[in-house]
Structure 1
Amino acid sequence: MKHVHLYLAGAALALTSAFALAQDAPESLLPPGFDKPARPAAAAPPRAAAPAAAANPAATPVIQQIPSGLAARSGPVALPSGLPSLEALEAMSPDELDSVLGLKPKDDIPPAARHAMLRVGVIDEGEGGLPWWGLRKQNPDLVRTLLEGDSGHFVSRWGHILVRRALASRLDAPAGMEPADFAAMRAALLVRMGEGSAARALVQDVDTANFSPALTQSALDSYVATSDFTGICPVIALQGTAKKDKPWQVLQAVCDAFSGEDSRSMASLDRLFYYGAMSRIDMLLAQKYAGAAGKARRAVKIEWDGVKDMTPWRYAMTLAVGLQPPAALMKDAAPTYSYMAATAPMLSLDGRASAADVAAGRGLLSSTALVDLYGQVYDEDADNSEWATRAARLRDAYVAQDPADRLAAMREIWGDAADPLRLHSRQVLTAYCAARFPVDKAYADDAPDLISSMLTAGLDANAARWAPVLEKGSAGWALLAVGTPGGAAVDTGAIDEFHDGDQSTDSRRSQFLVAALAGLGRLPLNNANDLAGKYGFRLDYATRWSKAIDLAAQYRNPALVALLAGLGMQGDGWDKMTARNLYHIVAALSRAGLSAEARMIAAEAVARG
């Protein structure tokens, strides 16, 4: 019995332990049914045995019958006519090979970026250019005569500025004239004027693929005028066969160096040197220029011994390689080289300032450009050179406390009147100094020089402030009578007073004053003719040129009037200008809507005549 109780107690303990373990087990979080084991998959029914595959027959090749008409033919292969031999082809450069095989590109600009041949130019009418229609309906022979017959040297600085503006405007070519040739003639005249940068910009407005032989030559001249010999390389790439002369071949060799073919470039230059394509000094300069681009590292020594003259090519190449031309060769050089030097960035500041004494008086540099140039000289030139001293005096002319000191600084800058062109260039430099000078009757005797300086920059409103302190008939009064806008009719008695004090040769300034006042409509024509007879000249004499410019003014055609005015202003000094021509120029410009230019030319004539 005792054993039974022990057995039952052990069983109860086992059940109790099992129950306790069951209570401690974790509870399943799965939804009902997910904790049950998966049902066993049904066994797949047995497949019937597949019959044995029959043996495949051997593959046979498919042979397509060749049509009888395309059967191979025996015999020599026909080559294009004129094809060089294999040896000649192997010796050709890539450009020559492309040309022979017809692979040479005809354009170097994507279609979407190409320029139209309409309204070729640099400045649009909205940017200050002249109307595009000005020459479209003109006789092409007349336009050709105006452009090719103009020397590019004008007596008037403002006349130069006017003609440059006309040539750089976006203009349609005359009917019957090729637009490329029209652009070429305009660029050629700009080069003759010394405006190489404007000519280059005009040429670049025409796609190289549209160049004519004349435009190719004008492009070459414009790049030479700016010492930019690599600028012509895109033209040579597409128009390489347009010219065959020796300088063109030299440029082709130079461009090879800048396209990575320095060995071929040097070999070509050596060959051209050997056969005397150009003078020794020109070939040495070309070799030095090309050597700067390649890896040949050839040292070229420039020797000027035996060189007796200077040419535009030689001068431009000298500047391009970073050298200074010998002073002996530049002593009596033409003004053209000063025009090139004034805007050459590779030239020293002193060299550019020296050239500006000529270029500014001709109209190539504005007063703002001159002040910028002398500002650089003031900042960088520590050698107390002539130009650094002048830059310091220019600063005094702006900021000196005492007006007398400012005037003294300006007079020191102007110098004497021994060189009229240099004096006028210096007046351009001080235009804004003069405009800042206080109006005071104590300085009335200095007013003519101050007013003349102001008007070089077109500061007519500043100049007009001096009117209350000037006496009628004085030199300052005469400048304001023609140089300021809205002038009233002028009394002939005041003109006689001006004539009495006129010290110019043959009373030229008095003649110019009468002609300018008549052209501006500030002096009745009958009174002008009476004064002209008294002063020894005529206004009523007509020429073919005067009839043409009067007719152009009648039709309000500013572009044609500007070109005709340029033709009538040719010369190296105001002694080459006649009062009659000045009258027609001023009157035509006024009627054609260019009254500001008319007044500035008139004032310049009275001041410099």
Structure 2
Amino acid sequence: MKISRTSSFASVLVLAGLVGLPALGQDVPESLLPPGFNDPVAPAPAPGAQQPAARPSGLPQAPIAGPAPIPTPTPTPTPTATARPVDPKLLAQYELPEYARRSTAHIGIDGAGLGRNAFAGADGRMLETLMRRLDAPVASRWLSIALRRALASDVDTPARVNGPDFAAERAWLLLRMGEAPTARAVVQSVDGENYTPKMYQVAMQAALATADPAAMCGIVEPAQRVSQERGWQLARAMCAGLAGEPKQAGVLIDQARRAFRRRAVGADIDLKLAEKVLGAGAQGRRSVTIEWDGVEQLSAWRWGLANATAVEIPAALFDTVGPQVRYWNALMPAIPPERRVPDAELAAAQGVLSSSALVDLYATVGELDDSPSELSAVARDLREAFAAAQVADRMTALRQVWTGATDAQRSYARRVLTARAASAIPASADYAADADALVASMLSAGMDLRALRWRSVAPEGGDAWAMLAVADPRARQVSQRAVSRYADGDARKGQLLLAGLAGLGRLPAEDATELAQSLGVPIGAENAWTRAITLAAGRDQPGTVLVLAAVGMQTRDWRGVSPQALFHIVAALRAVGLEGEARMIAAEAIARA
């Protein structure tokens, strides 16, 4: 979902029950700014654009019959009664003993980060609506990292929602962000006996996004009792095959084939992939050849089962889906390293993959005898950047890695890749010309103290100086004159610097007001979104603040990021104790502007 006008922000918040609809005169930027602190997508869309308006109130339906690049949202609210009674004796086999059952009053991953009260006092229905309509992934690497922590954390279930449903919404957003393993962990933090129809839907998607169809086997029978999705019929056949029951699997897959061909167009590839999975089980006797001719759309089903059975997906099909599917690729160990590297770079720029993980992947590629020459060259340069005896040689290697990027996102990914190597370069006037790149690289991985060594080298008015001004944990004040001089060199970056400094409280109020007027940044203007994020910050709801920050930052082009939005995001994060994340987002804005 792309929000371009104040009325659009207001409508989302009104429908969520967060605010009323006042008379709003101020335009909201088309998208907002920046911790460590379905239906088929139209051909060649803007990367990863979802279609939230078409289905505003639901969650994924497994894209089995017919093409669907990412699961189609189809709402299923709180659980309803099962279609037929369950045999108590059968149910007793699956019920956990009382001491082993987990509460639905709080759900998530222990130690993920924000604590139980991240959404304390928030309206759960409002949060669910905002998360469901969020067009992920968002612009900022650092906001993505912080949002992942919020969604994964073991948090108290907010008021007015069902705990498993709220967890399902969180997992569904994580999947759209590309965070498949984390989404699956959130799903698995709910006991099976507490699953709702919505949770069953998302559980299937998490299994597909991690290429593990066997993860559906433990829930396939209860899922079929509450869901009419055809995917569960195929899942039952696959699970019979994986359990070493080829005869039963064959009967089930044949039944599914007859049913699908009556009701679905273009389902052959989906059936064949399911048949290939069930043939992989013990005593499996079916040999299936997968042909992609005529397949015009990738789907979660097709991606998940193809990777589960080591079937290579044609590269052209990735152009039919959002970028999150490439992030799933980056996290899939079964895919050969040389094929994962291009997607891993994109994932690193987004925050799905860490700097050290990307370095490890390149190191693996560098050891291969048959890796592509361009990847081998980067791996050699990276090794030289870490290990060369002379600083000058290491610096030369770093420059070669940076200049090899083909676009803005990959350029930032190379900064992430070299963060640790950059931190080993001693601060010296000899490399003052490289200070901007070195500081951006270190801050991309949160190495703020290492980067601050360059404060005495980076000249005032340069990008390195500006990034350090917002990244410094010691909250040093910055003069109005210095900001004005920086803006004279680049008005856009000057606006972003003002927004970051003002949000962090590093400009006297009078200076911030004068600079905002002279640089044309309406940091004092209000609308529904600014009031909502300010209210959440005032109520000390870090999880809500992060969701609202992401609502505003629904763009993958940093040219669409608004200084006004950056100010409110940074200020709200700082107010709820996430100043480290706020500083890194402010620095990232300057690095990627």
> TM-score normalised to the size of structure 2?
0.82
Match of 1:198 in 2: 182
For 2:217, what is the secondary structure of its paired residue?
helix
Match of 2:110 among 111, 116, 123: 123
Percent of residue pairs identical: 39
For 2:456, what is the secondary structure of its paired residue?
helix
What is the CA distance between 1:384 and its match in structure 2? 5.5
**Does the 8 Å CA contact 1:209/1:238 hold for their aligned counterparts?**
no
Match of 1:71 in 2: none
Q: In structure 2, what is the Cα distance between the partners aligned to 1:321 and 1:304?
A: 14
Residues matched between the structures, number:
505
Gaps of 5+ in 2: 1-83
Change in 2 beyond 3 A, CA 1:332/1:179: closer
What is the CA distance between 1:536 and its match in structure 2? 2.7
Match of 1:104 among 74, 90, 111: 90
Match of 1:590 among 574, 577, 590: 574
What is the CA distance between 1:176 and its match in structure 2? 2.5
What is the CA distance between 1:101 and its match in structure 2? 5.5
For 2:469, what is the secondary structure of its paired residue?
helix
**Does the 8 Å CA contact 1:208/1:238 hold for their aligned counterparts?**
no
Match of 1:547 in 2: 531
> 1:455-503 CA deviation, whole Å, 9 max, x = no partner?
111000000000011221111110100112113211122112212222x
Task: Write out aligned runs for 1:456-495 (5 A).
Answer: 456-495=444-483
**Does the 8 Å CA contact 2:419/2:441 hold for their aligned counterparts?**
yes
Match of 2:301 among 310, 313, 321: 313
The answer on 1:374 being equivalent to 2:358 is no
Please tell me the residue identity of whatever aligns with 1:274: R
Q: In structure 1, what is the Cα distance between the partners aligned to 2:440 and 2:565?
A: 22
What is the CA distance between 1:264 and its match in structure 2? 1.3
For 2:287, what is the secondary structure of its paired residue?
coil
**Does the 8 Å CA contact 1:382/1:388 hold for their aligned counterparts?**
no
Q: In structure 2, what is the Cα distance between the partners aligned to 1:333 and 1:175?
A: 35
Bigger shift: 169-178 or 235-244? Answer: 235-244
**Does the 8 Å CA contact 2:223/2:232 hold for their aligned counterparts?**
no
Which one scores higher on RCO, CA 8 angstroms, separation ≥ 6?
2
Change in 2 beyond 3 A, CA 1:385/1:418: closer
Please tell me the residue identity of whatever aligns with 1:571: T
The answer on 1:164 being equivalent to 2:164 is no
Change in 2 beyond 3 A, CA 1:331/1:150: closer
Please tell me the residue identity of whatever aligns with 1:444: A
Q: In structure 2, what is the Cα distance between the partners aligned to 1:546 and 1:351?
A: 43
> 1:38-66 CA deviation, whole Å, 9 max, x = no partner?
xxxxxxxxxxxxxxxxxxxxxxxxxxxxx
Match of 1:427 among 415, 432, 448: 415
> 1:342-398 CA deviation, whole Å, 9 max, x = no partner?
010110111111211211111100111112222222234454533233222111000
Please tell me the residue identity of whatever aligns with 2:505: G
**Does the 8 Å CA contact 2:125/2:160 hold for their aligned counterparts?**
no
Change in 2 beyond 3 A, CA 1:330/1:232: same
For 2:333, what is the secondary structure of its paired residue?
coil
> 1:407-429 CA deviation, whole Å, 9 max, x = no partner?
22122222356511111111111
Change in 2 beyond 3 A, CA 1:436/1:304: same
Match of 1:530 among 498, 514, 535: 514
Bigger shift: 269-278 or 230-239? Answer: 269-278
**Does the 8 Å CA contact 2:495/2:519 hold for their aligned counterparts?**
yes
Match of 1:360 among 348, 356, 364: 348
Task: Write out aligned runs for 1:44-443 (5 A).
Answer: 103-105=89-91, 107-124=94-111, 129-276=113-260, 279-330=267-318, 333-383=321-371, 385-415=373-403, 418-443=406-431
**Does the 8 Å CA contact 1:257/1:294 hold for their aligned counterparts?**
yes
Q: In structure 2, what is the Cα distance between the partners aligned to 1:226 and 1:302?
A: 20
Change in 2 beyond 3 A, CA 1:250/1:371: same
Change in 2 beyond 3 A, CA 1:310/1:534: same
Q: In structure 1, what is the Cα distance between the partners aligned to 2:158 and 2:427?
A: 50
Please tell me the residue identity of whatever aligns with 2:91: P
Gaps of 5+ in 1: 1-97
Choose 1 or 2 for highest CA Rg. 1
Q: In structure 1, what is the Cα distance between the partners aligned to 2:346 and 2:131?
A: 24
Q: In structure 2, what is the Cα distance between the partners aligned to 1:119 and 1:512?
A: 38
Bigger shift: 136-145 or 533-542? Answer: 136-145
Bigger shift: 565-574 or 178-187? Answer: 565-574
What is the CA distance between 1:100 and its match in structure 2? 7.4
Please tell me the residue identity of whatever aligns with 1:117: T
**Does the 8 Å CA contact 1:529/1:538 hold for their aligned counterparts?**
no
**Does the 8 Å CA contact 2:207/2:215 hold for their aligned counterparts?**
yes
Please tell me the residue identity of whatever aligns with 1:489: Q
Q: In structure 2, what is the Cα distance between the partners aligned to 1:101 and 1:463?
A: 63
What is the CA distance between 1:275 and its match in structure 2? 3.4
For 1:104, what is the secondary structure of its paired residue?
helix
What is the CA distance between 1:167 and its match in structure 2? 0.4
What is the CA distance between 1:246 and its match in structure 2? 1.5
Change in 2 beyond 3 A, CA 1:441/1:201: same
**Does the 8 Å CA contact 2:276/2:309 hold for their aligned counterparts?**
yes
Q: What's the RMSD between the two structures over aligned residues? A: 1.9
What is the CA distance between 1:403 and its match in structure 2? 1.9
**Does the 8 Å CA contact 1:227/1:316 hold for their aligned counterparts?**
yes
What is the CA distance between 1:269 and its match in structure 2? 1.1
Match of 1:515 among 476, 499, 510: 499
Q: In structure 1, what is the Cα distance between the partners aligned to 2:515 and 2:287?
A: 70
Q: In structure 2, what is the Cα distance between the partners aligned to 1:297 and 1:268?
A: 15
What is the CA distance between 1:110 and its match in structure 2? 4.0
For 2:500, what is the secondary structure of its paired residue?
helix
For 1:308, what is the secondary structure of its paired residue?
coil
> 1:236-275 CA deviation, whole Å, 9 max, x = no partner?
1433312122122111111111223221112221232233
Match of 1:501 in 2: 489
**Does the 8 Å CA contact 1:188/1:199 hold for their aligned counterparts?**
yes
Please tell me the residue identity of whatever aligns with 1:509: K
> TM-score normalised to the size of structure 1?
0.80
> 1:95-119 CA deviation, whole Å, 9 max, x = no partner?
xxx9775542253544432222232
Please tell me the residue identity of whatever aligns with 1:564: L
Bigger shift: 484-493 or 200-209? Answer: 484-493
What is the CA distance between 1:537 and its match in structure 2? 2.8
Q: In structure 1, what is the Cα distance between the partners aligned to 2:506 and 2:556?
A: 29
Change in 2 beyond 3 A, CA 1:219/1:383: closer
Q: In structure 2, what is the Cα distance between the partners aligned to 1:550 and 1:180?
A: 28
For 2:156, what is the secondary structure of its paired residue?
coil
The answer on 1:576 being equivalent to 2:560 is yes
Change in 2 beyond 3 A, CA 1:426/1:548: same
**Does the 8 Å CA contact 1:159/1:569 hold for their aligned counterparts?**
no
Please tell me the residue identity of whatever aligns with 2:581: E
For 2:310, what is the secondary structure of its paired residue?
coil
What is the CA distance between 1:515 and its match in structure 2? 0.5
Q: In structure 2, what is the Cα distance between the partners aligned to 1:101 and 1:471?
A: 75
**Does the 8 Å CA contact 2:224/2:233 hold for their aligned counterparts?**
no
**Does the 8 Å CA contact 1:452/1:479 hold for their aligned counterparts?**
yes
For 1:465, what is the secondary structure of its paired residue?
helix
Q: In structure 2, what is the Cα distance between the partners aligned to 1:384 and 1:568?
A: 39
What is the CA distance between 1:193 and its match in structure 2? 0.8
Please tell me the residue identity of whatever aligns with 1:319: N
